[in-house]
Copies of this chain bind each other. A is one copy, B any other.
Amino acid sequence: MRLDYPTSLKGLLQELERLPGIGPKSALRIALFLINQPKDVIDRLIQALQRVKDQLKLCIRCFNYAENKLCSICQDEQRDISLLCVVEDPMDIAVIENAGTYRGLYHVLHGVISPIEGIGPEDLRIKELIERLQVEPIKEVILALSPTSEGEATNIYIARLVKPLGIKVTQLAMGIPVGGSIDYTDQLTIMRALEGRREML
């Protein structure tokens, strides 16, 4: 049921409903909120959208989000340029950075190999990764893809390309999450946690 709203309101509802997680009711709620607020609220939203559209690009080196040619991490001269962490998308960088211990560089694949979704290695930034490894003084590539079957396949694919270059390839440890409980942990995670067990010193 689409009621007889003014054209401009109908148009806004249509655009809002395209957004993920926004159905007709939330779209109406958001639209009415924006209509009933002082005009500068809608203006600020328009400007924020415009700014993201105009300014947010991908770093030409690591394909992280960037507002200049290089992202803030690639511009940072304090980073350890011998370490390269490979991630699936730019949001993963934010999560790893937030943990606060990694000081190396990144490379964003923008996806993982997924034959079902028709995503092959040529659709990802893998060629650019290999090019970087040939010119940058990188000693270790840390694979930090999600531990799914697609992530694992991508790990193996990249490892096969990188090892012949004489560069060490590692992968994030899999196991029980900190604060997780054993009885709610799935079989595969338990298997990985057992495989990766460490001697207590």
Known contacts A18-B41, A21-B26, A22-B30; is-contact A8 B95 (Cβ 8 Å): no
Q: Interface residues of A, CB < 8 Å — how many?
A: 53
Q: Which residues in B have their C-beta under 8 angstroms from that of A53?
A: 39, 42-43, 46
**A31 CB-CB contact with B under 8 Å:** yes
**A1 CB-CB contact with B under 8 Å:** yes
Contact B8 A55 (CB under 8 A): yes
Q: Which residue of B lies closest to A59 (CB)?
A: B6
21 A–B contacts from the bound complex (CB under 8 Å): A4-B72, A4-B97, A4-B98, A6-B65, A6-B67, A6-B72, A7-B55, A8-B51, A8-B56, A9-B65, A11-B48, A12-B52, A15-B44, A19-B30, A19-B34, A32-B91, A42-B52, A42-B53, A46-B46, A46-B50, A49-B49
Chain A contacts with B in 14-48, Cβ cutoff 8 A: 14-16, 18-22, 26, 28-35, 39, 41-46, 48
